[in-house]
Amino acid sequence: MSVTVAKTAGFCFGVGRAVELAEHAASEGPAATLGPIIHNAEVVAELEAKGVRVISSPEELRAGETAIICSHGATKEVHDELRRMGVKVVDATCPYVRRIHEYAAEADAEGRTLVIIGDRDHTEVRGIASRARTVRVFSNVDDLSNWLKNGEENGDKPVAFVAQTTVNVNFYKKCLEIAKKLCTNAQKFDTICKATISRQQEAADLADRCDCMVVVGDRRSANTRRLYELCMERCENTYWVERAEQLEVCGNCTNVGITAGASTARWIIEEVRDKMDEIKNVTEGEIKAEEVETVNAASDESFEALLEQSLKTLTSGEKITGVVTSINGNEVQVDLGTKHAGYIPLSELSDDPNVKPEEMFKVGEEIEVYVVRVNDGEGTAMLSKKRLDSMRGWEEVEAAVESNETMEGIVTEENKGGIVVSVKGVRVFVPASQTGVPRGGELSELLKKKVRLKITEVNRARKRVVGSIRKVEAEERRAASEQIWNSIEVGGEYDGVVKSLTSYGAFVDIGGVDGMVHVSEISWKRIHNPAEVLSVGDQVHVHVLSLDREKHKISLGIRRAEDNPWAKFIASNKIGDVITTKVVKLMTFGAFAEILPGVDGLIHISQIADHRIEKPEDVLSEGQEVEVKITNIDEANQKVWLSIRALKEPVETPVAAEETADEPEYETDTVVASSEEGKLEVSEEIAHEVEGEQE
């Protein structure tokens, strides 16, 4: 007797993933599945022993329990109810089933009738049907044909065809052929699981070759039923067993084929293997296992060894090439060409927290991945893209030291001495002094940001790599500096950043070169310190006043000629005008009044009142608004004389020209106001009175 075991026997990707998610949920606390996690009583019993019970509706959930959606999915109403309840949910829906949910929702949005080919009572079909308002479900060709023919408008309706993932491939093809003939506006989606197609094809090939077939799987499993029906069509001597003890002796059969449903665990297949050993002892025949492609039964290898070969096992740590079959927000599914269903969790895609799976891969794309963990019992393999990138990254990082190449990475953590940057999957330490962050600054501000750096040291044996962000900034600054010095001219305008402040001005970075803005060139207002109007880090627009290429010095200005308050004053005022001003400073010899921001005029003590006063504060106070007459304007020196007294009695000559005989101590040209320099020019007689009061 020769025995052939199908390569695709056992857990598919979706089933293995669902069981793994349920076990993980159980490890974190009590959990419950809405219906059996998969159609396999033995697996369900194992999960119950681990604390995962089975419920039929969300209302049965207990306080603190995690709700687990089974691999077949759930209705939209169930999802909505769980969301309303606010419970923790683990969605173990097979990604292939979830994709059909999306097709159904799209069809409904387009106003199409959703036509589902499958078992209307199956959990998967009920979940799909809940995603659309107008739905028809057909489980045989005649019903579909009659619906399209008998309803005159049905053939012209916009419809969308989908299939239950485990439906018979040939049956679905016949349905689509009918749709092609009778429907004028139909969308057709290929939604049968790829693993299902392979499993059915292998089962058919085996049944054609063997005189006895054994189908292993739960009686409630739809895909196992399809396998049994398909095998029965080709081999009348077909057995459907859930456990090994149900297996009968296959008479005098020469060739025996074994296949198993997608929800059949490997340990159940191993039980069947042990039972086959017993059959071997009874019949004293030679039992061998072979892969489907192996026709020659003459082999000395044991059944166990060949079974292991048919269930090809991956090794953790190896590199393997696969094809992307599906992409969603949590993982990327990869066909590895083996029995194992490969998947890359989001955490294993990249160190970049902003990366999106759909931006990295495309369905159908061939990629190389690193095998992180293999679960033979569930037929799954966790894969990693970032770990493979890390292996290759070491080579690139080492080469970058010699080439002085600038590399990019994501800041993943902060520690006492600096930060850690992931570059091509390699951890690169950047000392605090090389981060470019000023002393005392917050390194945490760099977390999760993309940075550019130079690799300065690599010790692969110690797994130590050191880098510098500051070196890149220095190089870029030198390059920018050269570019600016090659093009800078007097009058040129730049956007800059205030780098530092002093008592006499501000240093501004204009893109690789620092220029000096003197305090007098910051504002038309009178200021004593740049800090009154500027702060480090401010964005400012400057223009070049002068430059010294040999000494690499640049003088910049912020205030602009068109904003000159003196020009505005001259344009709108003349001698003899009466204006309202505000007293801003009281001195022993008079008062300064602000005409407009940046232009002050002097009201000499002799011009404050129509009678002699001892001091200005006898009449005026700072902040007081007073009406004055402009008695003189010195445009050359930008000085203005004002008078309150002139409004009360006629003044034949300007105050600045000549004072009255009884007030010889105040010559009209001894005290003036300068709006440009903000300084007072005083005669020697009164210099001591204003010293230290004005700059």
DSSP H or E run through 43: helix 41-49
CA triplet 95, 98, 99: central angle to 5 degrees?
A: 90
Q: Concatenated DSSP letters for 432-492?
A: GGGSSPPTT--GGGGTT-EEEEEEEEEETTTTEEEEEHHHHHHHHHHHHHHHHHHH--TT-
| Amino acid present at 177 | E
Rounded Cα–Cα distance for residues 105 and 640 (Å): 80
User: How many Cβ atoms are within 10 Å of 617's Cβ, its own excluded?
Assistant: 14
CB 193 within 8 A of CB 147: no
Residues identified as active-site: 124
658 C-beta neighbours (distance < 10 Å), count: 12
Of the chain, the end-to-end C-alpha distance in Å amounts to: 113
Closest CA to 280 of 298, 253, 305: 253
Q: Identify whether the C-beta of residue 620 lies closer than 8 Å to the C-beta of residue 591.
A: yes
CA distance 81 to 464: 52
Q: Which of 405, 441, 424 is nearest to 432 (CA)?
A: 441
Pairing between β-strand 418-423 and β-strand 426-431 as defined by DSSP bridges: antiparallel
424: Cβ contacts below 8 Å, ≥ 6 apart: 389, 390, 392, 393, 394, 396, 397, 407, 409
Position 158: which residue type? P
DSSP annotation of 606: G
Tokens coding 23: 């076990």
Which strands sit side by side in the sheet containing 31-34, from one edge to the other? Answer: 52-55, 31-34, 66-69, 89-91
Beta bridge partners of 655: none
